Structure 1
Amino acid sequence: MTLKKIPPRPVIAVAGLACETSSFSPARTVSWDFHPRRGAEIIDKYKFLHEGSPLAKAACWKGALIGHALPGGIVVRGDFEQLASEIIARLQQIIAATPIDGLWFDIHGAMCVEGLDDAEAELLHRVRTVVGPDVLISASMDLHGNVSRRLAHGTDLITCFRMAPHEDAMETKERACQNLVDILTAPTRTGKPRRPFKARVSVPILLPGEQTSTRMEPAKSLYELVPVVESIPEILDAGIWVGYAWADEPRNHAVVMVTGWNMSTAMEQAKLLAAYFWKCREEFQFVAPTGSLAKCLDTAFASIKRPFFISDSGDNPTAGGAGDVTSSLMELLARSELQNNTGVSVIYASIPGPKAIDAMIKAGIGAMVTITAGAQVDHLHSGPVTMTGIVFSIKYGDANAEVEAVLQVGTLFVIVTKLRKPYHHESDFVDLKLDPRQTDVVIVKIGYLEPELFDMAADWMMALTPGGVDQDLPRLGHRRIHRPMWPFDKSFSEMPEPTPELIPPSNECM
């Protein structure tokens, strides 16, 4: 029988919203936080879709709308509806001009919206209603996202990061697009693309990312199994989702998914990955030595290793923290090492304070100024902090912070921002005339250190501080996650048997 070919250049739309959301943070995320990109702006963002690239030659890409927000608090419902409605309207415009064959669903997987459970699945349902049942949808996700059965059902292909920290983010997104193109351009007997089998396993584990970094065991070995499974000829993709620990929805737990052309093989491999994950659950530990902030400061000031980094983890803005909890900064300001002019140098990154920024700009570089900052959003864990010091530097135009300034209080350099910002790169400090490599102690609101900081640190610890992304999960008060759940429940009545379920094709009724 002669094989009929799908047209060589399928039309693929791109849409999605991404925000890692802590339901335990008092912050709220609004539409402009997503920095929406539309149309050609989306193609410009991704180098692997640029003209002349293999994917651009293989398919015609049509941008609808994508939005990537800095992790934060729950998304305001009206703002979600505004962005979701625009996505639908833009998809309708694209389809009116030309039929589409596929859609890349560019999401994170841990977005919480007021009054909605499983926000990504709800958005996908609306997208599917517009594009129709025959369009193939490929989703790319963060491994800290959540794969509900509904989300798995609505997609045809689904993949996630395989590294934490996420050094493979762009590689993952490109893989999602390549998998989609491969299926759409593969010859078939009917002329219509095949839909792969999808095997999904729910794993009753919910751990913070700081205990599941792929830099160390057991996550290192667990994720090294993914390409091994993927190398099996009948398998298209394998993914292990740790899940997102700082939100309280039934979908928050670990998941394994395997997609492929052979049903039994996909089911078998999903079961093997899930069983390995469960077997090593007690081996997951924090990525660095931990302790209270006081313990971390004691260790850092006594150490001869420089620079010594401390993660102020409970208010980490890249995990969903508000970024303006001041308890750590207050404790730091009270330390005798800084009050007694011992010469130890410290950088603190960072604390938001729009009015403080205004005062520092007005005073000017080199001026002595008294400012108050912090606790404007998260006032559950601490109050505002007042400091007197010299305006050391000011920088304008940052994509997140808008304006940054450094207040020098003796040998302490406090970075103050108009809006919250994560500090992940050496240039973040150098642009403010700070040299972290020549600083004794650097305190950053972060969980595990991002690659540049990790490589720079002579030593480091993680402070178990309070905030919307507290590492002590039980004290946050989850009420809606499925139980029993490791490590909330340490003794299970019986060992759960990893049971894969076959997810129906997406073109069946959701």
Structure 2
Amino acid sequence: MRIAVGGFQHETNTFAPSKAPWAAFEQADSWPGLQKGPHLLTAFKGMNIPIAGFIDEAEARGHTLLPLVWCSATPSAHVTEEAYERVAEILLDALGYAGEIDAVYLDLHGAMVTEHLEDGEGELLKRVRAAVGPKIPVVASLDLHANVTAEMVEYSDVLIAYRTYPHVDMAETGARAAAHLDAMFAGLPRQAKAMRKIDYLIPLTAQCTLVEPSASIYRDVAALEGAILGNGRVSTVSFAGGFAPADIKDCSPTIIAYADTEVAANEAAERIAKKVNDSESAFREKLWSAPDAVAHAIANAGEGGPIILADTQDNPGAGGNGDTVGILRELIVQNAQSAVLGVLFDPESAKAAAEAGEGARIRLRLGAKTGGADEEPIDDEFEVARISDGEFLATGPFYGGSRMSLGTTARLRKGGVEIVVASRKAQCADQEMLKHIGIEPAKLGILVVKSSVHFRADFGPLAREVLVVESPGPNTADLSKLHYKHLRNGVRVMPLGKPYTG
């Protein structure tokens, strides 16, 4: 069959300080830059990314793929109207040029908010559906953190979300989407749909599928695939935990189920919704202050791997800019030893360090330049230990296969503390982000990562202990501290928290 293939990825933190313009989608960072034309079909080979899994699986099944456009930008505040409309126009124009097609596959996130739209994906799917008509199957993969809307469900035939966080199954999810589409070509009837919205928000760090309650919830989700419920067979079920730092009406966890009959789809969705509702209290977790976390790490560091401090509120994978210095300041003040922080976004300091050269001692105003937190840069003297061009191949389960591009990168040293400073924002979720500049993570006493959960895929096996730290930054971990204005009434902004009332 002839399948049109594309994607448009952005996770929008409406409380973040910086928006996503057109240039953010053009440039390469953790993932390739904007792709279109025939090169789109080869650009993702070997990467853990949904479109890569879809392409491999669909081609293995003998289908012809027609490239549209694919692009992504680092999570941030709203996608600008100009950027959204330019990408949408390119995608729809390419769809028009594709000629006769049998299906459309889109690699989407599911939590895109733009300057002019609360539901970026719902609007995109609506336009695609209008272009191809009601009979052409439209299939999309979604991030586990999608804020799924009724429009997204209405204008697609099936939505299939990741089942792991850290997202080690992104390519696998794309492959599952290809297999489902192939089953439709082979005679699987148009599936009945069921959706259930959950009435409480879940902080990102509590959604980790390596621990409870998410671990057992996702086992139940997977077990429902192929089950016979009532008078029908269930084809696929997804539980999207939602992206809580998005102040929109549809922000919340969502279950979506597909089956041969409405009865089966509704029963599948109800089963998972009950499990999620029964688990509400288990989604609360301990948050450490920066002083207490650093003091604990210093007192307990030793042989056998680092104590990892997750700087979750400045996670570039959730809208942070990666340049707050709350934990770094504590490391220096408390005289931590064998400690590393990565990756700090500060192009100005990275450039100055590169110009000074390895071995130099230079005065810098480090970090805190983008307004992600109410703090001042660290004004101090640092030793330039190493310089890198920031180009390397990621090898961990999350970023693995991606040719990462951090720009000019410096390894700075202040006493027993080292800082990896990059010229491009990136979540610290792969050991090569440190190894490429001469740092061996397994030998550290303390490691601070600007990440919420994805770091656990590659760094987790090394860790003696993991502490989630509530240091200043725009990805607020305690959601009750956010000033929501647009949630639907009745949603509890934290598990067991107070309902939102507008």
Alpha-carbon distance, 1:378 to partner: 2.3
In structure 2, the partner of 1:506 is none
Q: Is the 8 A contact 2:280 2:496 kept in 1?
A: no
Quote the Cα distance in structure 1 between the aligned partners of 2:366 and 2:406.
14
In structure 2, the partner of 1:20 is 11
Q: Is the 8 A contact 1:392 1:407 kept in 2?
A: yes
- Give 1 or 2 for the bigger CA radius of gyration: 1
Q: CA RMSD in A?
A: 2.0
Q: Is the 8 A contact 1:400 1:420 kept in 2?
A: no
Q: 1:77 to 1:375 in 2, by over 3 A?
A: farther
Q: Is the 8 A contact 1:27 1:73 kept in 2?
A: yes
1:417 pairs with 418, 422, 446, which one? 422
Q: Is the 8 A contact 1:164 1:209 kept in 2?
A: no
Percentage of matched positions with identical amino acids = 25
Kindly provide the amino acid, as one letter, of the partner of residue 9 in structure 2.
A
Q: 1:426 to 1:108 in 2, by over 3 A?
A: same
Matches within 5 A, 1:209-288: 209-233=204-228, 234-286=233-285
Matches within 5 A, 1:77-476: 77-95=81-99, 99-186=100-187, 194-233=189-228, 234-286=233-285, 290-305=287-302, 306-335=305-334, 337-338=335-336, 344-398=337-391, 399-448=404-453, 449-476=455-482
Quote the Cα distance in structure 1 between the aligned partners of 2:156 and 2:420.
43
Q: 1:320 to 1:52 in 2, by over 3 A?
A: closer
The count of residues paired between Structure 1 and Structure 2 equals 467
Taking structure 1 as the reference length, what is the TM-score of the superposition?
0.87
Q: 1:281 to 1:51 in 2, by over 3 A?
A: closer
- Residue aligned with 2:408, SS: strand
**Which ranges in structure 1 are unaligned for 5 or more consecutive residues?**
1-9, 187-192, 339-343, 494-510
Quote the Cα distance in structure 2 between the aligned partners of 1:411 and 1:461.
20
Quote the Cα distance in structure 2 between the aligned partners of 1:51 and 1:260.
25
2:74 is the alignment partner of 1:70: yes
Alpha-carbon distance, 1:321 to partner: 1.1
Q: Is the 8 A contact 2:142 2:161 kept in 1?
A: yes
- Residue aligned with 1:28, SS: coil
Q: Is the 8 A contact 1:14 1:103 kept in 2?
A: yes
2:492 pairs with 480, 486, 493, which one? 486
Q: Is the 8 A contact 1:348 1:413 kept in 2?
A: yes
Quote the Cα distance in structure 1 between the aligned partners of 2:494 and 2:282.
15
Quote the Cα distance in structure 1 between the aligned partners of 2:198 and 2:19.
30
> Structure 1, residues 251-277: CA drift from partner, whole Å, max 9, x if none?
101111110112211111111211121
Q: Is the 8 A contact 2:9 2:109 kept in 1?
A: yes
Quote the Cα distance in structure 2 between the aligned partners of 1:490 and 1:280.
10
273-282 vs 392-401, greater mean Cα deviation: 392-401
Taking structure 2 as the reference length, what is the TM-score of the superposition?
0.89
> Structure 1, residues 15-74: CA drift from partner, whole Å, max 9, x if none?
221111111111111223232111333322155669986644431111100112222222
> Structure 1, residues 307-331: CA drift from partner, whole Å, max 9, x if none?
1111111111112212122222223
Quote the Cα distance in structure 2 between the aligned partners of 1:284 and 1:221.
13
Alpha-carbon distance, 1:292 to partner: 0.2
In structure 1, the partner of 2:401 is none
Kindly provide the amino acid, as one letter, of the partner of residue 199 in structure 1.
A
Q: Is the 8 A contact 2:3 2:104 kept in 1?
A: yes
Q: 1:51 to 1:292 in 2, by over 3 A?
A: closer
Quote the Cα distance in structure 2 between the aligned partners of 1:480 and 1:174.
35
Q: Is the 8 A contact 1:372 1:385 kept in 2?
A: yes
Q: Is the 8 A contact 1:49 1:56 kept in 2?
A: no
Quote the Cα distance in structure 1 between the aligned partners of 2:112 and 2:189.
30
